[in-house]
């Protein structure tokens, strides 16, 4: 008796474990496919017959969905050509024209008796309607004549896609088998849930698509989603009640947040707007030079002069103060939050959907609750900017800290490093490039909200762009837009340093 090595199963045993059904066939086919570096022809009859159901059962859903769309289209063409009511639209138009002609005939009879001056007008109108109806009748004839060609096209397309599925099936499955060998978490499929899901999904899509396109109006519920206006009105009332309650009960919290943001914003506005322009230019140019080099310093000086000579200085500094407030608060919250989440997967899994919501929700949507809680003005603009631009620094901080090699951390721990020392001297220095990239992305996304923030009274350069859009003032909009671009370039060079030069 030959004993099996459980720890080192043979290739045949692995293929059997992967394919579940008909293993001998797939062992031969995988051997044939793997023996040639180029494409090796192989045809799977079951895949050709079952089509997307086979691919779904094998858990190859990307191909299953693709083939399902094509097969559904071809079956729709066959059913439409053989049994479908493909002339429904043209017949409906004929009935509408006939109804109109009948109405015009009644008007003509009345005009003959009471208003002879309009008899010719009605006759011409009836004649044009009759010509139009004849055109629709001819269209019906053409459509009926084309039914056989629609059917032939559907049959050819269905046969072609069946052949393609049969040819691609084994090579696709062999590729998935190779991936499964290196990653056993990949599901090979052929489980009960795959059978049920694949069959049900394919049947539902195929049936309702064929009925809808081949026999329009047969199932009335498919024409429109079943709803009622009271559902939306009730939902609106509930949302307004919740927000009114939150505004009433959270007044102290919202006031405290407003005071905190206003304090930072007023300080930065005092710093950038009230400070003499020559001091600001000198400080920014020096900072850019120290961070990114003399060439970037010269560029930043030119950008600042552009803003000054064109009269954008005060608005640019107001924008910089608004952006700086949002960026400083986002970074001050985001980096510690990213550090906390880096080693706590469960907590990060909880807040990640919230960050996805913050990044994907359109700005004009989350502008509504912010205005409800904080009103309009610069504080609301700062909060909206933080919501939109605050997530990259958290994500990239987590990514950078998780990317620190474990061998380095283990070596530091072996030499007696505490958690605090490990964070300051090992994790953060190695994660700094990723964290700086997150800071840069937060600053850039915050700057992208300048124009949107101007809608609720943030002023600054965004106001000039908004006015240019309202009054189609191309020159003003372009000049203000270039000024916003220059602010972004200066901040980018300062944050990224010499890596961008």
Give dist(CA 389, CA 393) in Å, integer: 8
On the question of pLDDT at 6 being above 70, the answer is no
Distance CA 500, CA 496 (A): 6
Q: pLDDT grade, residue 496 (50/70/90)? A: low
Q: What is the pLDDT of residue 67?
A: 93
Rounded distance, CA 296 to CA 496, Å?
A: 11
**How many whole angstroms separate alpha carbon 440 and alpha carbon 450?**
16
- pTM comes to 0.67
CA distance 463 to 186: 53
Q: 501 pLDDT band (50/70/90 cuts)?
A: very low
Q: Rounded CA gap, 78 and 159, in Å?
A: 12
pLDDT per position as a tens digit, 213-233: 877 777 777 777 787 888 888
pLDDT beyond 50 at 395: yes
Q: pLDDT tens, 336-380?
A: 999 898 888 888 888 888 888 888 887 778 788 888 888 888 888
How much is the pLDDT for 71? 93
**Ordered domains of the chain (ranges, CATH):** 11-222 (no CATH), 240-500 (1.10.3720.10)
**What token pair was written down for 359?**
């990044």
pLDDT above 70 coverage of the chain, percent: 95
DSSP state of 2: P
pLDDT of res. 1? 41
Considering only residues 202 and 183, tell me which one the structure prediction assigns the higher pLDDT.
Answer: 202
* pLDDT in the model for residue 498: 54
Name which residue leads in pLDDT, 364 or 205: 205
Q: Which of 135-144, 255-264, 276-285, 421-430 has the lowest mean pLDDT?
A: 135-144
Q: Indicate the range of 109-123, 277-291, 385-399 predicted with least confidence.
A: 109-123
Average pLDDT in the chain: 83
Evaluate whether 171 touches 42 at the Cβ level (below 8 Å): yes
What pLDDT score was predicted for residue 2? 43
Residue 120 has pLDDT above 80, yes or no: no
Asked if 317 and 274 touch (Cβ cutoff 8 Å), the reply is no
Q: What angle do CA 48, 54, 56 make, to 5 degrees?
A: 140
pLDDT, position 89: 67
């Amino acid at each position: 008796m030959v004993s099996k090595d459980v720890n080192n199963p043979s290739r045949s045993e692995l293929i059997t474990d992967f394919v579940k059904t008909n293993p001998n066939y797939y062992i031969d086919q995988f051997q044939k496919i793997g023996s040639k570096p180029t494409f090796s022809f192989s045809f799977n009859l079951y895949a050709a017959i079952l089509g997307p159901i086979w691919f779904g059962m094998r858990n190859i859903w990307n191909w299953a969905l693709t083939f399902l769309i094509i097969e559904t289209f071809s079956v729709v063409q066959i059913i439409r050509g053989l049994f479908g009511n493909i002339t429904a639209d043209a017949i409906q138009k004929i009935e509408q024209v006939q109804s109109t002609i009948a109405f015009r005939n009644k008007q003509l009879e009345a005009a003959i008796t009471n208003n002879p001056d309009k008899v010719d007008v009605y006759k011409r109108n009836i004649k044009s309607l009759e010509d139009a109806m004849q055109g629709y009748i001819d269209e019906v004839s053409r459509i009926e004549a084309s039914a056989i060609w629609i059917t032939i096209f559907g049959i050819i397309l269905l046969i072609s896609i069946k052949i393609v599925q049969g040819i691609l099936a084994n090579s696709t499955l062999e590729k998935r088998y190779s991936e499964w060998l290196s990653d056993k978490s990949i599901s090979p499929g052929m489980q009960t849930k795959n059978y049920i899901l694949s069959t049900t999904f394919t049947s539902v899509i195929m049936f309702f698509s064929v009925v809808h396109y081949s026999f329009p109006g047969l199932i009335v519920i498919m024409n429109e989603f079943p709803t009622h206006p009271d559902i939306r009105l009730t939902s609106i009332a509930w949302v307004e009640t919740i927000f009114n309650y939150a505004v009433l009960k959270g007044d102290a919290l919202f006031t405290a947040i407003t005071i905190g943001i206003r304090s930072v914003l007023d300080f930065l506005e005092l710093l950038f707007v009230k400070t003499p322009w020559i001091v600001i230019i000198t400080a920014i140019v020096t900072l850019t030079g120290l961070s990114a080099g003399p060439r970037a310093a010269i560029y930043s000086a030119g950008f600042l002069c552009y803003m000054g000579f064109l009269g954008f200085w005060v608005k640019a500094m107001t924008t910089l103060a608004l952006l700086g407030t949002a960026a400083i608060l986002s970074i001050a919250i985001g980096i510690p939050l990213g550090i906390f989440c880096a080693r706590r997967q469960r907590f990060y899994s909880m807040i990640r959907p919230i960050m996805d919501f913050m990044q994907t929700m359109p700005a004009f949507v989350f502008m509504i609750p912010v205005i409800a809680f904080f009103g309009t003005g610069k504080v609301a603009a700062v909060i909206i900017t933080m919501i939109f631009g605050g997530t990259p620094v958290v994500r990239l901080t987590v990514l950078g800290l998780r990317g620190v090699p474990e061998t380095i951390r283990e070596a530091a721990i072996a030499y007696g490093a505490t958690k605090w020392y490990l964070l300051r001297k090992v994790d953060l220095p190695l994660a700094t490039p990723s964290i700086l990239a997150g800071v840069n992305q937060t600053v850039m996304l915050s700057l992208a909200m300048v124009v949107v923030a101007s809608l609720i009274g943030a002023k600054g350069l965004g106001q000039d762009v908004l006015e240019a859009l309202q009054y189609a003032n191309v020159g003003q909009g372009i000049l203000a837009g270039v000024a916003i671009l220059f602010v972004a370039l200066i901040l980018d060079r300062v944050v990224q340093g010499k890596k961008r030069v």
